[in-house]
Amino acid sequence: MMDTLAIVKALLCEGNQTQPCNGGTFFRTGTAYFLRTVTYHIVGRMLRREGNLLILTDAAWVADSGRWAEATAKGTLNEVEPFPPGHEVAVNLDTITDATAWNHQLPLGVK
């Protein structure tokens, strides 16, 4: 039988960012995503979730994605500004309007 602390941890998905919890989750540690928020676009690899924040690394601000179909199919982006290598970026989950897995190399240089 689970004690109260174990039940609370399970409900909060504590320590379980790589597996579905409470009915599943879209975001997986180690997966790269293209996120569109209410004010900007960003690509990066998920490190972890901290409460309502998605922590990314190898991230870049996408100033211009170009044609959406080409960006998602081929990984072609018109204008990007990467964060410094190893830099952690926090994105509030409440600001994300949509997200998709990014199955391409993450941009490493300014374009």
Q: What are 16-42's pLDDT values in tens digits? A: 554 544 445 788 999 999 999 999 999
pLDDT digits (tens, 9 = 90+) for 38-68: 999 999 999 999 988 999 999 999 999 999 9
Q: Which amino acid is at 105?
A: Q
pLDDT at 20: 47
| Contact call for residues 44 and 56 (beta carbons, < 8 A) | yes
For residues 40 and 61, what is the distance between their CA atoms, to the nearest angstrom? 8
Give strand ranges (E) for 1-111.
32-37, 41-50, 53-64, 79-82, 89-92, 96-101
Who's near 59: CB < 8 A, 6+ residues apart?
A: 42, 43, 44, 45, 82, 83, 87, 89, 106
CB neighbours (10 Å) of residue 39? 7
User: What does pTM read for this prediction?
Assistant: 0.77
Q: What percent of the chain has pLDDT over 90?
A: 73
